[in-house]
Amino acid sequence: MTFSAWSESTASPGYAVVEGQLVVSLSLQDPPAREILDRLREGLKSEIRFDVRVYQKTSGIFRFLGDKLIGECHPAYEAQWDEFSNQFIVTTDDHRTYRFATAPAFVKFFFSLPHYATRVQLPPGRGCYMLTSIEVDATKLVPPLNMISLLVPLDRHTTAWERTRLAL
Amino acid sequence: MKLSRSPGSSVTGLVSLVLIYILLIVLILFFSNEVLQDISKESTLSNFIVLPLAVILPLFIVGTLVVNILRLVRERRTGQPGVRLKIRMIVFFTFIAFLSSIPQGILSISFINTTMNSWFSTPTRGALQGGVDIALEFINDKLTNLASFSDSVALTSMLRDINRSPNHVWTDVHEANPSISAIQVFMDNGSELFFRGDPRARMKAPFMSNREEGMLPKESNGDLSILRFLRIYRAEQDRYAVVLSTILPVGFDQKAQALTASREIFTQLDRFGAVFRIVLVLFFSFFSLPMLLLSILVSFLLSEEIMRPIVNLEEATRRVTQGDYSYRILGRSGDELALLVNSFNKMISELERSRLKIMQTEKVTAWQEIAQRLAHEIKNPLTPIKLSAQRILKKAEESREELDRILEPAVRSIITEVENLDRMLKEFRDFSKLPAPQLANVNLKELVREVLTMHEPTFRNVGFNLDGIPEGLILRVDRDQLRQVFTNLFKNASESIQGDGSVWIRADLVRKGNYQYCRIQVQDTGCGIEGEYHNQVFNPYFTTKGSGTGLGLPIVERIIFDHKGQIWFETQVGSGTTFFFDLPMET
């Protein structure tokens, strides 16, 4: 397993290919930790979503159709502060729960996605690349307030899409 | 027989609108039940289908409405029958739609505001925060109590009998602190020495006794939550891990979570309440507007549906006015308009029968009159012919010299009368066999000039003024027949003028109902027509002139009628006569 060097970009993507399957690592540089901690202590929930899209370049006469999307995944964490146990609780989208007694431990975990198996099988040959982006909702709106997010992205931070060439 | 059927397009349209209406309601229900729940997640059905549909559907309705409005504007410009009434009905329906929607909208928005204010009011918020505070205070009390008791000297003295009498230890502990639910003691190797108390608080062995003294993480199992404190107790050579447990009330964690979740909604409302209200109003408008537009669209189709029989009736009436009695309307069965249509069709049938009867009678009468007049007109020259022939015969018997003297004037008289007869019969033939008009574009002013040039010697005593005819006015008429009309009218005018006089010709565009006509006037300064002759002016063989045949104006009238026009006159004895005739601009 080899990981590429962490770049200085916001999304800091790294990747490995294990038995043809893409494993990605993402981490948000300079995360809005203070803002998130404030929101959690107010009794609100926060959410982070890591967007990964894997493409294969199209060549020949069909180039005008754009590159082929091989696969995509959007793992997400939801965070909250449990004032009854004085712990930060992070729930992943596969319903696993992680508890953190200290803010630094929580921040380190929450803003990174280490070694995530995307279940995207990379095709043989060259010309594959991935686009990554991280979206942080400092306040995860509850229904029906989440209607707001349809019109205005309140309290949301989104990094630009970062392109990383995948060397097999 | 020609039939006008109401096409089913508006019915199809109404069915389509009903389907769109149902789709819109389903969309609203789906949106309110499903979309709001998973709106924050991507790759859901709502994001891919429902939301685009929620945008496309209103756009589709707006597009259809715009097309209908444009069509209505075009119909109004081209003066389609019934368009004014249709517009009035649409405006009326739209007004009703607004009338019902606006109070509903205001009520809904006001209801949303009132409900939000009452549900999420400050007392509720305070009560909720109070609940959280009480829960926090309760659990802190339990923790403090557990920690202080576990750390106390009293517990140390109670644990002296740890090896000899566990029951004694438990009795002492429970008596000293009833909030302790259980005591569990583990030996240094992790095995359990004893457990006393509520069995729900029992921990599974082996226990890792190398842990630090103090509060253990709160344990949750279903609706049960347990607080634990680890105390290391040393007696002589032995080391014991004593775990004191306090069971929280059943469902404490769930209730606390419910409280914090409710408080979260309040906190979010505090932060985003103003934006949320705006978004609610926007969403309300977003789904109400298509409903309103849909009702306006329905008003278009309903107006069309209501107007169609009326327009058909108008069309039928117009055709009947133009002489087409074969036109019938096919009405829908079962409503009052169908009764009206049936009555109208019946009336037209009756009218056609009566008209045919009248035409037959008129035809017979006309031919009788013409036969009488023709007989009279033929008889007139026969008398001088007969007299001349008898005179020649008589002189031939009496003397040859007398015969030579009267022969030439008598024969000349016979020839003149025969020529008159021939001319009269020729005009009669022209009148009775007038061909159908061959329509072509004709410049009116040029045609009038042409007529005047051809007959210049005849009209020498008359000044013709053509200033009233616009240059470039084009009529769709039969050129030869219209030339005949002007020739006859100019001839009549010049003959009615004694000495010098003038004739003015002018043309104007006039509108009669939905049709445009060119009204042409020929005004002379002649002697006018006596009142007693007014009804006979267009009768064949009626003339006040010695040399006339009496067919000039009947031919003019016939040509104008054949062009689907009308002719009439105004006259004043001593001042002159004006003939008016209207020719349709589009035939």
**What tens digit of pLDDT does each residue of A99-123 get?**
999 999 999 999 999 999 998 888 8
Please check the confidence at residue B426 and state whether its pLDDT lies above 90: no
Please check the confidence at residue B40 and state whether its pLDDT lies above 90: no
Mutate to test the interface with A, among B34, B37, B50, B271 (most CBs of A within 10 A): B271
Which residues of chain A lie closer than 8 angstroms to B218, CB-CB?
Answer: 84-85
User: How far away is chain B from the Cα of A94, in angstroms, using its nearest Cα?
Assistant: 14
Please check the confidence at residue B24 and state whether its pLDDT lies above 80: no
Please check the confidence at residue A10 and state whether its pLDDT lies above 70: no
Q: Would you call B364 helix, strand, or coil by DSSP? A: helix
Which residues of chain B lie closer than 8 angstroms to A144, CB-CB?
Answer: 36
Higher pLDDT, B471 or B342: B471
Q: Residue B320 has which token pair?
A: 């009947």
Nearest CA in chain B to A81: B260
**CA-CA distance, A33 to A35, in Å (whole number)?**
5
pLDDT at A156: 86
Which residues of chain A lie closer than 8 angstroms to B37, CB-CB?
Answer: 143
CB atoms within 10 A of CB B359: 11
Select from A47, A74, A148 the Cβ nearest to the Cβ of B279: A148
Select from A43, A85, A147 the Cβ nearest to the Cβ of B279: A147
The mean pLDDT value for A15-38 works out to 90
Please check the confidence at residue B137 and state whether its pLDDT lies above 90: yes
The segment with the largest mean pLDDT, out of A125-134, B110-119, B367-376, is A125-134
Confidence class of residue B46 from pLDDT cuts 50, 70 and 90? low
Would you call B98 an interface residue with chain A, using a CB distance cutoff of 8 Å? no
pLDDT at B33: 66
Please check the confidence at residue A142 and state whether its pLDDT lies above 50: yes
Higher pLDDT, B432 or B162: B162
Higher pLDDT, B411 or B323: B411
Between B14-28, B42-56, B249-263, B379-393, the lowest mean confidence (pLDDT) is in B42-56
The mean pLDDT value for B376-400 works out to 82
The answer for A 6-65 residues in CB contact with B (under 8 A) is 42-45, 47, 49
Please check the confidence at residue B461 and state whether its pLDDT lies above 90: no
Please check the confidence at residue B28 and state whether its pLDDT lies above 80: no
The mean pLDDT value for B231-235 works out to 86
Mutate to test the interface with A, among B112, B133, B141, B264 (most CBs of A within 10 A): B264
Select from A83, A139, A152 the Cβ nearest to the Cβ of B268: A139
Which residues of chain B lie closer than 8 angstroms to A142, CB-CB?
Answer: 261, 264-265, 268
Whose tokens are 């599974």? That residue is: B204
User: How far away is chain B from the Cα of A84, in angstroms, using its nearest Cα?
Assistant: 6
* CA geometry: angle B563, B566, B570, nearest 5 deg: 145
DSSP A72: E
**CA-CA distance, A132 to A162, in Å (whole number)?**
5
- ipTM, two decimals, is 0.79
CB atoms within 10 A of CB B540: 23
Would you call B282 an interface residue with chain A, using a CB distance cutoff of 8 Å? yes
Nearest CA in chain B to A155: B272
How far from chain centre, in Å, is Cα B321? 30
Q: Residue A149 has which token pair?
A: 């997010």
**CA-CA distance, B426 to B152, in Å (whole number)?**
148
Q: Would you call B537 helix, strand, or coil by DSSP? A: coil
pLDDT at A4: 32
| DSSP one-letter string for B420-465 | HHHHHHHHHHHHHTPPPP--EEEEHHHHHHHHHHHTTTTTTTEEEE
User: How far away is chain A from the Cα of B587, in angstroms, using its nearest Cα?
Assistant: 57
Select from A44, A147, A149 the Cβ nearest to the Cβ of B283: A147
Confidence class of residue B160 from pLDDT cuts 50, 70 and 90? confident
- The residues pairing with B243 across neighbouring beta strands, listed in sequence order, are B184, B230
Which residues of chain A lie closer than 8 angstroms to B36, CB-CB?
Answer: 143-144, 146-147
Would you call B259 an interface residue with chain A, using a CB distance cutoff of 8 Å? no
Whose tokens are 């025969």? That residue is: B418
pLDDT at A7: 36
Higher pLDDT, B337 or A31: A31
pLDDT at B568: 93
pLDDT in tens, B205-229: 777 767 788 888 888 888 899 999 9
Which residues of chain A lie closer than 8 angstroms to B51, CB-CB?
Answer: 150
Please check the confidence at residue A8 and state whether its pLDDT lies above 50: no
Would you call A152 an interface residue with chain B, using a CB distance cutoff of 8 Å? yes
Domains (ranges, CATH) in chain B?
A: 2-119+265-321 (no CATH), 143-250 (3.30.450), 358-431 (1.10.287), 437-584 (3.30.565.10)
pLDDT at B546: 65
Q: Cβ separation of B39 and A42 shorter than 8 Å?
A: no
Which residues of chain A lie closer than 8 angstroms to B269, CB-CB?
Answer: 145
Confidence class of residue B477 from pLDDT cuts 50, 70 and 90? very high
Which residues of chain A lie closer than 8 angstroms to B260, CB-CB?
Answer: 43, 83
Mean per-residue pLDDT of chain B: 83
Confidence class of residue A9 from pLDDT cuts 50, 70 and 90? very low
CB atoms within 10 A of CB B11: 12
Would you call B471 an interface residue with chain A, using a CB distance cutoff of 8 Å? no
Would you call B137 an interface residue with chain A, using a CB distance cutoff of 8 Å? no
Higher pLDDT, B469 or B423: B469
Please check the confidence at residue A47 and state whether its pLDDT lies above 90: yes
The answer for A 97-136 residues in CB contact with B (under 8 A) is none
Select from B40, B136, B261 the Cβ nearest to the Cβ of A149: B40
Would you call A78 an interface residue with chain B, using a CB distance cutoff of 8 Å? no
Which residues of chain A lie closer than 8 angstroms to B281, CB-CB?
Answer: none
Q: Cβ separation of A149 and B39 shorter than 8 Å?
A: yes
Q: Where are the alpha helices (DSSP H) in B78-121?
A: 83-119
pLDDT at B333: 62
pTM over 0.95: no
Would you call B506 an interface residue with chain A, using a CB distance cutoff of 8 Å? no
Nearest CA in chain B to A153: B40
Would you call A146 an interface residue with chain B, using a CB distance cutoff of 8 Å? yes
% residues pLDDT > 70 (chain B): 92
Would you call B265 an interface residue with chain A, using a CB distance cutoff of 8 Å? yes
**CA-CA distance, B468 to A119, in Å (whole number)?**
91
pLDDT at A1: 26
Select from A140, A144, A148 the Cβ nearest to the Cβ of B275: A148
**CA-CA distance, B271 to A38, in Å (whole number)?**
13
Q: Which of B526, B530, B510, B549 is nearest to B431 (CA)?
A: B549
pLDDT in tens, B184-210: 998 888 888 899 999 999 988 777 767
Higher pLDDT, A75 or B82: A75
Q: Cβ separation of A146 and B36 shorter than 8 Å?
A: yes
Please check the confidence at residue B295 and state whether its pLDDT lies above 80: yes
Higher pLDDT, B237 or A137: A137
CB atoms within 10 A of CB A124: 7
pLDDT in tens, B51-98: 667 678 778 888 988 999 999 899 888 877 788 888 898 998 888 888
Would you call B442 an interface residue with chain A, using a CB distance cutoff of 8 Å? no
User: How far away is chain B from the Cα of A2, in angstroms, using its nearest Cα?
Assistant: 31
